[in-house]
A and B are shown apart, each in its own frame.
Chain A
Amino acid sequence: MSTIYILWLRQLKRYFRSRARIIGSLGQPLLFLLALGYGFGPIYQRASGGNYIEFLAPGIIAMSIIFTALFSGIEIIWDRQFGFLKETLVAPVSRLQIMIGRTLGGATVATLQGVIVFFISLIAGFRPTNFFMILPALIFMFLISLLFTALGTAIASVLEDMQGFQLIMNFIVMPLFFLSGALFPIQGLSGTIKTISTIDPLSYGVDGLRHTLISVGYFGIGTDFLVLGLITVVLLAIGTYLFSKIQI
């Protein structure tokens, strides 16, 4: 228990100490909110989609979460290069505990980041329909965080250095985000893009956030929760397995 706690605490300390990283990572969601939200707003309204900022904000919250979460997972590569990973791997604690501590830490940090972006979106004009639903929205944020931290850990366990980072960003993170319905409604889609969006796990995260924050959704809140939960469990299992196989 104390092992999990100290690893969780380490992730949090590192997060709060890198102010540049916190501020830096807020730039992108802000830009997306303003440029896309206000840029496409009028067209979206004319197409009788309603208020685009309302629609977009949950997607942008999800975006900031997946970037932070994935990066937290990927940090294992840094730990490997700077040697700190060895220190944890030779300690008399199970790798499962290390994995759990790290993942919870990374997920907490990502959720915090999501909450910050939530407040920023309030400033940008976003108004949730029901403030009581913020608690279930937090649960969804945490689930998305867990899922992507576990994914990051799994990826980082098999990579030796940061060379593959661009590859991951362009072939995993970007597609997951852009095809998730974070920016457009899945309702009106048809054909391949609809299939892809339905397979994308982030779609269920974004959908869950929409259900809770603006009472609009596509899959149904129960489905969102189940799919997200299930994939998280599977990825945690894969991540733990790959992490336990690390050799230095």
Chain B
Amino acid sequence: MIDVKNLSKKFKDLIAVDNISFSVNRGEIFGFLGPNGAGKTTTIKMLTTLLKPTSGEMKLGDYDPIKEPSQARCSFGIVFQDPSLDDELTARENMEFHGVLYGVPKQIRRERIEQLLKFVELWDRKDDLVKHFSGGMKRRLEIARGLLHHPKILFLDEPTLGLDPQTRNHIWNYIKKLNKEEQITIFFTTHYMEEADRVADRIAIIDKGKIVAMGNSQELKSQTKTESLEDAFLSLTGHAIRDEEATNIERLRMGRRMRRH
């Protein structure tokens, strides 16, 4: 379903993704793990047509995200790592906007919006502006929105970041159900190793732009002779703490904070 061959992305003086290749089968849940700044989000951005790779080939289903971006966009849905809601719209309007953009028919759209907003427990707040929501509520809305249309491939970039274990569990159960019932291929990243251990059929570990290991959880553990996925992960990527370049929004916040001082 997803085929990546020799994919690289260079920014000015940084190689974010360095010649990676992998493929994800149809209906598979694929975990893409790595420390901060390893190249996970850059890879997802390239796969989802937001960024052009420096070199390499990609295929989403039958389409090439570089040469046929519009067709490729029809085949996937995505929950982004950082916020992508419109704060000036209500929860329902954000959902509605997404549904229209993805051509979900009105009847189904209405039903699913109600069902999903109830599922993430935001139905009572459906007509409130998103700017009044807490971080966790925004995250839940973002996930609900990503599940509104049922694509062939669903990209989840750290979807459960900052959510409590109850909500995480709840959401993963729903995603697994979608995966089973509708054969949706799931490509996700996370920092919660036990989460990856539990849901992923296969896992790739990326570090400094290179894929350092790939296989199911058991294989990774036996390859590194460790007991848990977390230990396997640490043994593969080392203990050093990584820095990530500030995103736009972080820069904006920093700027504001500095101005206030």
Contacts and interface: CB of A to CB of B under 8 A. Distances in A.
B102 A91 contact: yes
Interface stretch (B218-226, B231-239, B246-254): B246-254
A247 B100 contact: no
Interface string B179-195: 00000000000000000
Contact of B100 (A6, A17, A82, A161): A6
Interface string A1-19: 0110110001001100110
A80 B88 contact: no
Interface string B65-94: 000001001101010101111111100010
B52 A91 contact: no
A26 interface: no
B103 interface: yes
B51 A247 contact: yes
A6 B80 CA distance: 22
Nearest to A162: B252
A223 interface: no
Contact of B87 (A5, A82, A94): A82
A87 B89 CA distance: 14
Nearest to B49: A90
B125 interface: no
Contact of A10 (B48, B80, B83, B97): B97
B240 interface: no
Nearest to A90: B48
B50 interface: yes
Contact of B50 (A10, A14, A84, A86): A86
A93 B72 CA distance: 11
Contacts of B51: 247-248
Contacts of A195: none
- By CB atoms of chain B within 10 A, which of A3, A83, A94 has the most? A83
A92 B65 CA distance: 12
B98 interface: yes
B101 interface: yes
A13 B100 contact: no
Given A90-B73, A92-B74, A248-B50, A84 B100 contact: no
A154 B103 CA distance: 27
Contacts of A160: 248
Which of A81, A84, A87, A160 is the most central at the interface, judged by chain B CB atoms within 10 Å of its CB? A87
Nearest to A15: B88
A33 to B, nearest CB: 30
Given A90-B50, A90-B78, A83 B89 contact: no
Contact of B70 (A3, A5, A80, A94): A94
B45 interface: yes
Given A86-B50, A91-B73, A161 B101 contact: no
A97 to B, nearest CB: 9
Contacts of B249: 81-83
A94 B101 CA distance: 10
B70 A87 contact: no
A89 B51 CA distance: 11
B101 A6 contact: yes
B45 A248 contact: yes
Nearest to B46: A247
A92 B103 contact: yes
A118 to B, nearest CB: 26
A160 B252 CA distance: 11
Interface in A14-35: 14, 17-18
A83 B73 contact: no
B73 A13 contact: no
A79 to B, nearest CB: 8
A176 B50 CA distance: 34
Nearest to A80: B248
A165 to B, nearest CB: 13
Nearest to B96: A6
B86 A84 contact: yes
Interface in B27-48: 45, 48
Contact of A81 (B52, B96, B252): B252
Interface of B: 45, 48-52, 70, 73-74, 76, 78, 80, 82-89, 93, 96-98, 100-103, 129, 248-249, 251-252
- 5 closest A-B pairs (Cβ-Cβ)? A83-B84, A91-B101, A92-B74, A92-B73, A6-B100
